[in-house]
Amino acid sequence: MGAAAHFLVPGRGTRGVALGPVLGAFAAGLVWMILTWAGVGLDSPWLWLSAFVAPIVVTYPVLLILARTRTARDARERTRLKIG
């Protein structure tokens, strides 16, 4: 899901190729851990569904914010350096 988010969010060139997949895996693992500690069993569909939903909910907005921030910062830096 994180890899898919990397390709869906505009501004792919403003971040590394591994950031989306790593962030998605981290989000899925964290939610999985929290739910299992909360007592949700492996037979529960909510546990498995969370492994697919959490990376989308976390990764997409983070990548979107990073792309916008990087684009704005690059524009300010170009203006400051009087480049094109």
Say if residues 52 and 29 touch (Cβ distance below 8 Å). Answer: no
Contact (CB, 8 A) for 59 and 23: yes
Query: How confident is the model over 66-76, as pLDDT tens digits?
Result: 999 999 999 99
Q: pLDDT tens for residues 22-44?
A: 999 999 999 999 999 999 999 99
Q: What is the CA radius of gyration of the chain?
A: 17
Residue 78: pLDDT band by 50, 70, 90 thresholds? very high
8-35 in b/e burial notation, b at 16+ Cβ within 10 A?
A: ebeeeebbeeebbbebbbebbeebbeeb
pTM of the entire structure?
0.82
pLDDT exceeds cutoff 80 at 84: no
Which residue has better confidence, 1 or 84?
1
